[in-house]
Amino acid sequence: MFKKFSFTAALILGGLISFSCSQKAESNVQKESSWTSLFDGESLDGWKALGGEAEFKIEDGAIVGISKVNTPNTFLCTEELYSDYIVELDLKIEDETSNSGVMTRGQYNTEKNRVYGYQIEADPKERAWSGGLYDEARRGWLYPLTLNEEARKAFKLGEYNHYRIEAIGNEIKTWVNGVPVAYVVDDMDSEGFIGLQVHGIGSNPDHAGRKTYFKNIKVKTENLESKPFPAGHYVVSTVDNTLTDYEKEDGWKLLFNGQNHDGWKAAYKEEFPSNGWIVENGVLTIKESDGSESETYGDIVTEEKFSAFDLSFQFKLSEGANSGVKYFVTLSEGNSGSAIGLEYQILDDEKHPDAKKGKEGNRTLSSLYDLITADKQGRFTKAIGQWNQGRVIVYPDNKVEHYLNGVKVLEYVRGSDEFRDLVAGSKYKNWENFGEAPEGHILLQDHGNRVSFKSIKIKELK
């Protein structure tokens, strides 16, 4: 009886296992079949060229874009629009003078015959920002690869490179040859076309006829499973005062919640200033006063102290304004005016006189105030009245980096001989061990001008 029962049970168990495996295999087939090929290798059905007049043709089962003089950027775009999807393709650039990219939820202005919106870069030049996110004909770079130096090695000139692009909800994530590259949270476009770029070459005849190749182009719009990013990647988010689940798990926290001044207090006091600093519509603003340094409303500091950290913040200047974000503020110096600390300078370089003081521009926007001049380009600086993204990273080994809108503008090492030489020649020369405290507060400065802040977040580094 026992043997018969065991044999029967074995048959039943075997059947269940077989059924389970069959279901799993069928599920995998369904997931694989949910991919749709966007190119059959023989025709350009379902595609249309927009923007410029570069040529697209088919060679050996690939779409080939051919550069042409005196025409702007040209895009071969899907006739169909997509919202949430994953697209994968292989892309090859033969010459480092060429440039390409993949439009993601792309947009088109019919009056100007101009393609615009999210573009995932293919950059074979020394800069090597392939896989970064550029907002074509609109906001410029959202995710330059100064934010992910390791990913700059992923793209290979003269070889097919595999791109994976996820556009799910308000998140866009990219991979090049399996290497995670960009992670952007932005809600400007929720739907658009997929486009293949041939970059304009101006009037240079030497660059005419250069080819860019695209093949194995497929899209998935159902059964979307986001590929996880490994920990430690910086997320660029234009959604105010929020953190993604990924950021929370990675150790980030908000220093400003967008609703009130919790976590902040007046410098040298235990309460928040009663006047001057306002929270309105998700923005923390110091009001205009008389232009003096911390004389009217006063600076504010975090209640917490930090040592090694990654600090990110957005700021908006009014015309002619001056302010700053200071770090390693100890509040122990007993000085008058603004509290002492290392300062990420926030300034209208054109209209505030402080930009002309100091040494060789070391008091200009995003500089280490009065010590190191920021090496920045105008194209990466937003106009007065627009939001800029600031970032300060202090590593556990005391290396420090300043960023402006995703681009690194300076670096130094706290406590190094070079740093101390700079301090000795600055306004801080009389402060003992200036900038070398093991920990300190983060400070937002009142310099008598209207300046606004939002999306202030920090990750402690160990």
Q: What's the chain's average pLDDT?
A: 92
Mean pLDDT in residue range 267-287:
96
Mean pLDDT in residue range 443-457:
97
Q: Measured between alpha carbons, how far is 301 from 441 in angstroms, rounded to an integer?
A: 6
Mean pLDDT in residue range 81-91:
98
Predicted structure pTM score: 0.90
Q: What is the dihedral of CA 435, 436, 441, 446, to 10 degrees?
A: -10
pLDDT exceeds 70 at position 65: yes
pLDDT exceeds 90 at position 297: yes
In the chain, helix, strand, coil percent, each to 5?
Answer: 15, 40, 50
Q: Which tokens hold the place of 141?
A: 């770079």
pLDDT exceeds 90 at position 10: no
Q: Give residue 25's pLDDT.
A: 43
Q: Measured between alpha carbons, how far is 419 from 325 in angstroms, rounded to an integer?
A: 19
The CATH class of 241-460 is: mainly beta
Mean pLDDT in residue range 368-372:
98
- How many CB atoms are closer than 10 A to CB 297? 17
Q: Give residue 420's pLDDT.
A: 98
Bridge pairing between strands 47-50 and 74-78: antiparallel
pLDDT exceeds 50 at position 6: no
Sequence length of the chain is 462
The position carrying tokens 């400007």 is 188
Q: Give residue 33's pLDDT.
A: 65
Residues 6 or more apart whose CB falls under 8 angstroms from that of 184 comprise 133, 142, 143, 171, 172, 173, 235, 236, 237
- Answer yes or no: are the C-beta atoms of 334 and 302 closer than 8 Å: no
Beta bridge partner(s), residue 453: 284, 315
CB-side neighbour CA atoms (13 Å) of 400? 24
pLDDT exceeds 90 at position 27: no
Q: Give residue 259's pLDDT.
A: 97
Q: Which residue has the higher pLDDT, 35 or 4?
A: 35
pLDDT exceeds 60 at position 20: no
Q: How open is the CA angle 104-81-182, to the nearest 5 degrees?
A: 15
Q: Give residue 336's pLDDT.
A: 77
Query: In the sheet where 74-78 sits, what is the strand order?
Result: 47-50, 74-78, 193-198, 100-109, 114-122, 133-136, 140-143
* E-state strands within 248-321: 252-254, 264-266, 277-280, 283-286, 300-302, 309-317
pLDDT digits (tens, 9 = 90+) for 108-166: 999 999 999 999 999 999 999 999 999 999 999 999 999 999 999 999 999 999 999 99
What percent of the chain is predicted at pLDDT more than 70?
93
pLDDT digits (tens, 9 = 90+) for 298-349: 999 999 999 999 999 999 999 999 999 999 999 998 787 789 999 999 999 9
Q: Give residue 97's pLDDT.
A: 86
pLDDT digits (tens, 9 = 90+) for 188-222: 999 999 999 999 989 899 889 899 999 999 999 99
Q: How confident is the model at residue 32 (pLDDT cuts 50, 70, 90)?
A: low
CATH architecture, domain defined by 37-220 = Sandwich (2.60)
pLDDT exceeds 80 at position 28: no
pLDDT exceeds 90 at position 410: yes
Task: Spell out the domain ranges in the chain.
Answer: 37-220, 241-460
Beta bridge partner(s), residue 444: 300, 325
